[in-house]
Structure 1
């Protein structure tokens, strides 16, 4: 009876996990319910199965959230700090849920991984295509859509609104996932269908024209090709990578973005391009960090100390925009100093080491991609970023960390 109940409950976990992978199509309030459902069925399965809680997995993958909770004690703005911790909650919820599974559970879930990855890919495509077609039919010409669609997705779709940075991120992650699906499927029409979806994702990636995602995707694609040992499997991926790079250079919108690198200067000395704005922010953030390098300013005050510095230095562009640090690593330094940064880096590095040890190639590329992306944006400080990073990260790290033998030489 207990075995049957356990088998039924892990099937509920499978369904809840599939819903999360497809949850980009859910509005923000329903998405929270989906996360809550996943937590509930995970707890239910834990008690029905009699699993042992994986303490090491939990503390490793939730380390940075633990540090941020501690910083609340020396934050002046407790209300804002609590709001931020709620936003960061995925960084502890998903480690908690995956810590309640056994090795057998992880093996069961991983047998369905291609189903999860495909659901994410198809929903990301739909999330972009449906509003594009709607606004094209009802509001704009095709040329106007190419120009205004990123802003339209940010301002005009209600609870589905998302900044182009995160839209570009989702397109890139979906493309990374798709290469693993392409290796797993052999049916001709399925391969063609997935390639069509990839082409759609690339089109939207070029429309959003975000340098961080394009650079990260290009580097990850190059590394993926290096991992391939058979020349026959290298060629199509190499041609695809070259084609993407040619498009980036050939299309004026994306080419102009990269031409910003030719002259990088502070916004009060040059044009207020996205590159110059980030360069200026990083210089301001450096001064803020040096004033409190060990413990930072606390999760309640990290935004205000940065915006106060903009006021003090009288930089109009930054004052009006009230920009965050635009670098996740710098942001953690401002929140919790070196302690918070080391906690986050330890999580990434230790999991990266085990990913290499157990040949978890998808996790290796995932960490590299997000590491690059976090150099230019605060990916974890919006729901559209933190939920999916934590979900994918904990799902992928479970494969490696649950494969580590325990002190008796047996797998968990």
Structure 2
């Protein structure tokens, strides 16, 4: 029992040379990252505590602003552009709600300019995200198994046991796996953790089982965007291998894995004939509907390319575009653009999307030095290509913490953490 308590304590930030504010800041972030894959609301108070401690630390810290990290000021600039766009938007209520959710884009990059960090403290951030993912996997697994049992148990008494079992299995293999958090966000968390975790040798049974759980989770989430990202990351890994025999083996494994992933019943034939009470909690968008979202967004942007429609009206105008173009399902579900660059262009026009592109251009240049660093960039960039990550709190918080850490001159998150 004492050993367990010591292990739990060691998992948190304990640098004796740091201030109490810094310790509270990092430990609050650790807890928040643990809950990110589990629930939308639980991380919020811990994020708030981290922000308060970080802001106080700015005024109490002896560390001066480092001009080498001035690229982090692009995030506050992006936030200011969002705020300015509220001037020419009519739906100010929705606009202010998005701005409130986006406050972390202003605060965390500034906090990181003055905050002390080291490789160990940031590595623990990923460790807590990993712990949360494992817990989240088993919670979702329990929920889906329980729902499958209810479906099988509700069948008429004259249905045989084996047929009931087959129907329950069909439900399990077709229904949406993640009912807690949108599958796209959880998939991104998994890809980034895998980028870090697979650098280490799988020399213990626990590491091996953890990687198996993460791949199983990614498979069951059935995110097409995540599958494409994983495929691209695998290609980069294969190109890096010099030994031809190992390279051919990896190509074979990639081919077989690709066949398994693309034959996922959740992608090939999603469920559509079960009661509403077990329908998707976080409805996933089909590939066709995603293409229509992009097409409608582009047509809508053409009307106001320079300044966009403001953070309040952008989504409403896009919904009207779906209706005008006859995209019934997109209009019914009120889908966003499902591409953050198009979403930003709709909201703030050319200047907003330009700042976002500059951020990721700098990130690409900053992470090009190693496969693991670049794979993290690739996962983040493709996530923004396939999802509007900066409209929900989970995506905004994750983006405003991880990307600034990647962009810092010392590259603590990337080379010194992933290569450890």
TM-score range, shorter chain: 0.7 to 0.9
Q: 2 CA distance for matches of 1:280 and 1:149?
A: 22
Q: How far did 1:228 drift?
A: 5.3
CA contact (8 A) 2:222 2:264 kept: no
The 3 A distance-change label for structure 1 pair 177 and 256 is farther
Give the equivalent residue in structure 2 for 1:349: 361
The 3 A distance-change label for structure 1 pair 397 and 376 is same
Structure (1 or 2) with the greater helix fraction: 1
The 3-state SS of whatever aligns with 1:112 is: helix
Give the equivalent residue in structure 2 for 1:221: 234
Give the equivalent residue in structure 2 for 1:277: 289
Q: How far did 1:401 drift?
A: 6.7
| CA RMSD in angstroms, aligned pairs only | 3.1
CA contact (8 A) 1:310 1:318 kept: yes
Q: How far did 1:179 drift?
A: 1.4
The 3 A distance-change label for structure 1 pair 74 and 175 is same
Q: How far did 1:255 drift?
A: 5.4
Q: How far did 1:341 drift?
A: 0.7
Normalising by the residue count of structure 2, what TM-score does the alignment of the two structures yield? Answer: 0.77
1:31 to 30, 43, 52: 43
Q: How far did 1:288 drift?
A: 0.8
Give the equivalent residue in structure 2 for 1:266: none
The 3 A distance-change label for structure 1 pair 197 and 229 is same
1:368 to 378, 384, 387: 378
Alignment of 1:176 with 2:195, yes or no, is yes
Q: 1 CA distance for matches of 2:32 and 2:406?
A: 14
Give the equivalent residue in structure 2 for 1:287: 299
Give the equivalent residue in structure 1 for 2:109: 95
2:55 to 33, 43, 65: 43
Give the equivalent residue in structure 1 for 2:215: 202
CA contact (8 A) 2:314 2:347 kept: yes
Q: Which runs of 5+ in 1 are unaligned?
A: 155-160, 258-271, 404-412
With 381-390 and 211-220 compared, the bigger mean Cα shift is at 381-390
CA contact (8 A) 2:225 2:386 kept: yes
Alignment of 1:126 with 2:135, yes or no, is yes
Q: How far did 1:215 drift?
A: 0.3
The 3-state SS of whatever aligns with 1:29 is: coil
With 235-244 and 121-130 compared, the bigger mean Cα shift is at 235-244
Q: How far did 1:366 drift?
A: 1.9
Give the equivalent residue in structure 2 for 1:340: 352
Normalising by the residue count of structure 1, what TM-score does the alignment of the two structures yield? Answer: 0.78
Q: How far did 1:233 drift?
A: 8.5
1:147 to 151, 154, 174: 174
Trace 1:231-380 onto structure 2 (pairs within 5 A).
241-254=254-267, 274-356=286-368, 359=369, 361-380=371-390
Task: Work out the number of aligned pairs and report it.
Answer: 366
The 3 A distance-change label for structure 1 pair 91 and 232 is farther
Alignment of 1:163 with 2:182, yes or no, is yes
